[in-house]
Structure 1
Amino acid sequence: MTDKPVLVSVDGGVGRLVLNRPKAINALNDEMVDLMATALRAWRDDDAITAVVLSGAGERGLCAGGDIVSIHRDAKALSEAGADDAAAAACPSAVFWREEYQLNSEIAKFPKPYVALMDGIVMGGGVGVSAHANTRIVTDTTRLAMPETGIGFVPDVGGTHLLSQIADHLGVYLGLTAASINGADAIALGVADHYIPSADLDAFVAAIAATSVDEAIAQYAQTPPESALFAQRDWIREAFAADTVAEIVRRCEAVDPSSPHKAAADKAASTLRSKSPTTLAVTLRTLREPLPTLDEALHREYRVSLRCVRGHDMAEGIRAQVIDKDRNPSWNPASIDAVTAADVDAYFAPLPDGLELTIVEP
C-alpha cells in the first residue's frame, strides 16, 4: 500500500522499511514508529528474514527528524500553562518520545544485519533510526546532524550516547553547534561504517537480496574522501574541552588570527551565541557526563525532553525557526552567563513515580 508512511515488504529474505513521507523529508510520526516497531518485532525471530534495509522515499533524504509543528503545539500550551512533569508526560509529544526511544533501543539490539542507508538529509529522529544500526551506510549526499539546540531542545534519540563517544571533543562541537557533517566526516568520526555512492544504492540493495550484506558491501563500498571536519580537530579539541559554554565561546574567539581555522572558530562562537543558553548548558552536561549504555542515555534524555517541552525555550525556538521563521528567538534567560547550575540540575532531576521512561526488552 503505497499510501502508508512506512512501506514494509520482503524481497529475497530481506525485510525492507522505506520511510514514505517524501514531501516532509520522511519526518517521523507516531504511525511510522509503530509500523517500524511492528515489522522489526515480527522479523527478529523469523528465520526467513536474513537482514533488514532501511531507506527513505524521495530524493531529499532518509529522514529530517520528528514532527516539529506538533511538538510546538504541546510546548506552547505547556509553557504558557506553567505545566508540571505529569502534564508534560501526558502530552502527545511525550507519548511519541516513549515509543520512539523504545524503537531506538530495539534497533540497537536487532540480532540480524540492519542496514541503514543514511543518504541525503539525516537529522534528529532520522539519526535515531539509523545511527544505532549495526550496518550504517553513508553516501556522497549525506548531510547528518543533531540540530536540536537551534530550537531550544537537546540531542535525544540516543544522540547524546553517540556524540559522547566521538574523540577529540568533536561530538561536543556537533551537539552544541548543531553543525551538519557529510558522509566522509561520519566515517572518520565513527558514526557510520561504510561509504557507498548514492547512485549505487539500488544496486547495493539488490545485491544484498541476491547474495548477502557482507558480499554486497565488499562489492560496492568505497574509500571515502578525506574528512574536512576531522582536519579541524586540533582547534576543536582545545576549544570544546572547556567545562562551560562561556569558556568554549571564549576559546573559539581566541583562536589565533593566523590560523587557517580562525573563520570556522569565529563561526562556531557566533553560532553558540545564537542558541538557547539553557539548552546549550544542559547539552554540555549530558556530553560531559556520558552514561555507559544507550538505554541509560535514553532514560536520561527522556527526563530532559519533558523538562524542555514544558519550558520556555523550546516553544520559542520552534516558533522562531519553523512557525514564524523570523530566526529571532527570545531566549529566557537570554545570556550564557545567566544560566545557573540549579537551572541545569532541574533538567536532570528524577521524575515523579510512574513517569520515568521504561525500556522493554524485545
Structure 2
Amino acid sequence: MKKRATIVDVAKECGVSQATVARVLNGQTGIRTKESTKKRVLAAAKKVGYQRNAIAANFRLQQTNSIAVSIADITNPFFPELVKGIQEVLRAEGYSVIQLYNDWDTDVEQEHFDYMVRTCVEGAIISPSASTTRFDALQSTPFVLLSNSDKFSMHDTVGNDSRSGMRLALERLYQLGHRRIALFVGGSMRSGSNWRAELFREFHRERGLSVGSDLILESDYGVSSTSSFVAARKIMNSFLDQPDLPTAIFSSNDILALATLQVANEKGIDVPDRLSVVGMDGIFSGEVSYPPLTTVQKNRREIGRTAAVALLDKIRSSKEGPVRRQLLGCKLLERGSMGPATSGSVD
C-alpha cells in the first residue's frame, strides 16, 4: 500500500521549511508568504499527491463539522426517511453525519455518547433507547431528542403528535360502525408506550363503551423490527383463532399491523369485510401489502429536518434558551385494509 504523502514530503520536494509548507497548505495568514513560494508549495503538493488531513486539522480547532445521529434499531423502516431529512439539512450547511445504532442496549448507547465526546462531534440527534436514558456523558455537546414522551420534558425534543394521530384512527373506526376494537402494542419502541392503552380506554369511556382486557394485546418491546414481526405473528396466530373476533385492530406501528394482516390473510379472514386493520407510521411496505394498509402517517422526513434545524439553532446560539418541544401532526391514510363494520356494530 502506498504511503500517504505528508507535509515532510512536500517540503522535501519544493525545498522550503515544513513550517512554511504548513502555513500555505493550512491557509494561515498571520505570517506573509511570497506568492512565488506559495506556487512552489502547491505545485509540490500536487506532484507528491498530498491531501490535507481535514480530520486532524479540525480536531486541533475543536471543530469537526460532524453531527452524530443515534438510533436504537437500524432494521426499523421508520428511520431511513427520517435520517434522510436530517442529512438534507446538515449537508446543505456543510456538516457530515455519523450514524450510530445501539440495538436497544443502553450500555452501548452510553458508549456511543462517550464516543461523541471523544471525537468532538458538534452536536447530536438522539432517538433514546429507553425512558431511563441518561445524557450526563454529553457534557457540553448540544443535542436534540427524537421523542414525544413527557419523560424527556427537560430536553429539546422533536416528535409526532402520536396521541392525536391515534385518536384520528379510533374516531374513523367508530364512524364506520366499529364498536369492538382491539389494540395491539409493542415492537420497536420502548419509551412512553403506556399512554396508548390509557388513551384507548379513555376513548371508549367517552363513548359509554366498555373495553375488556382481552382486547389489549402486547408484543415484546424494544426489539428489532424483524423480531417484532415474528413475535406479532405468533400472537395473532392465537388471537385470530378465537370465535368472538373484534371488527377492527389498531396497531401501534405498521410492523405489527402488517403481521396482523398477513396472518388474517393466511386464515382466510376477509380484510376489511370481516376485520379492519390499521397501523401507524406510514412505512412503504404498507403501500404494497394486500390489501394496502390503512395507517396513521407520520411525516418522517419533516421530523428529521425539524430536528436538524433545532440542533443547528442550539449549536449557533451564544446562550442557553428555553426547552423546546415540537410536535408534528399526523394524518390518516385510508387504504384497502379498513372498511365499515359488518358485525359487532351498534345500531
* TM-score normalised by the chain length of structure 1: 0.24
- Structure with the higher fraction of residues in strand conformation: 2
Max Rg structure: 2
- Structure with the higher fraction of residues in helix conformation: 1
* TM-score normalised by the chain length of structure 2: 0.25
